[in-house]
Amino acid sequence: MEADRGVQLRAWVEYYRDLGVYDFYRRGEAGEGGIASNPAPEDEVLEIVQSAVVASPPVAVPSGLVARIRPPDISVVSTTSGEMATRLVSFDSLAPLPASSVPIDQRAAALRALRKEIGDCTRCPLAYAGRKKIVFGDGSPGARLMFVGEGPGADEDAQGVPFVGKAGQLLNNMISAMGLQREDVYIANIVKCRPPGNRVPEPVEANTCSQFLLKQVDIIRPQVIVALGSTAATYLLGVKQSLSGLRGRWHSCRGAKLAVTYHPAFLLRDPRQKGEAWKDLQMVMAEMGLKSPARK
């Protein structure tokens, strides 16, 4: 019980660190290993966390489908070198799955309401980093298959639609090869605003934005999610692991089966890996009972 409380408090500390509240986290750093090896007494941590809750700007937690967004239930992990691993928030631990799914004829409206809730978002630093359009998502609200990328690039930022540039053309081809059309699937990204220079989203950006992708997944309830590249896999699964360690097997995310494959932008840079990506997609097709057009 006491141990659980300690883990939970530590989860709060990590959560606030991801939100950019660092001060309490530095306690105990004087030695080495920070809070993990020299934890502040629990009461002290609780006090600091409580004052951080009051002092920090509120994180907008939309009401509706997902009843309660809470800090993750995570235990402390350290790398083999003894360093603290980057804290990530997995979608599965972010909120309980809604008890019932949104009826298919109400999903489009639910997605529109969610888009309205996001508004002209200023919840994370990407709002001030030159974004032109918020890229919400694209495709069928009734999709059985969902693709998740990293974040919008220049073309997507200009048009407000995910995967419309060169990587998007390749993704369209991948979808066609699976015997589907782009309109049949749903496409979204970990972050909805373009990171400057197409850099990888920072944890605070991804963790702030993920609540909305989480809700999109919960509205659509796809049978299968394909994580495109390492950033999508990292935040959907809450683990930071090499793609090679994650590909070729099933994971789970919000009641869906999740497969990991290469990001189309990576495949454009290294087309020799297209065969490997095709193997990943074939695993998805087998699960969904899809046949490629040539074999129909």
Q: Considering the complex, state which of residue 71 and residue 149 has its C-beta at the smaller distance from ligand URA.
A: 149
Stretch of residues binding ligand URA (CB under 6 A), selected from 14-22, 64-72, 81-89, 147-155: 147-155
Phi, psi of 148 (to 5 degrees): -125, 125
Both tokens of residue 164? 């419309």
Q: For the chain, what's the residue count?
A: 296
Angle at 186 between CA 183 and CA 187, to 5 degrees: 110
Task: Give the interface size with ligand URA as a residue count (CB under 6 A).
Answer: 12
Position 203 contacts ligand URA (CB under 6 A):
no
228 Cβ contact list (under 8 Å, min separation 6): 147, 148, 149, 150, 171, 261, 262, 263, 264
| Contact residue for ligand URA among 137, 141, 162, 238 (CB under 6 A) | 162
251-253 and 145-149 beta bridge pairing: unpaired
How far apart CA 170 and CA 263 sit, in angstroms, is 10
Find the part of the chain contacting ligand URA (CB under 6 A) among 62-70, 155-163, 209-217, 266-274: 155-163
Near ligand URA by CB under 6 A: residue from 71, 72, 149, 195 = 149
Residues 8-67 that bind ligand URA (CB under 6 A): none
Q: Residue 262, interface with ligand URA (CB under 6 A)?
A: no
Q: Which is nearer to ligand URA, 11 or 232 (CB)?
A: 232
Residue 194 DSSP one-character state = P
Indicate which single residue of 163, 212, 235, 262 sits in contact with ligand URA (rule: CB under 6 A). 163
How many other C-beta atoms are found inside a 10 Å radius of the C-beta of residue 56?
A: 12
Q: Which of residues 14, 18, 150, 280 is near ligand URA by CB under 6 A?
A: 150
269 C-beta neighbours (distance < 10 Å), count: 10
The yes or no reply on residue 92 touching ligand URA (CB under 6 A) is no
Interaction between residue 139 and ligand URA (CB under 6 A): no
Amino acid (one-letter) located at 256: A
Contact set with ligand URA (CB under 6 A): 149-153, 156, 162-163, 167-168, 189, 265
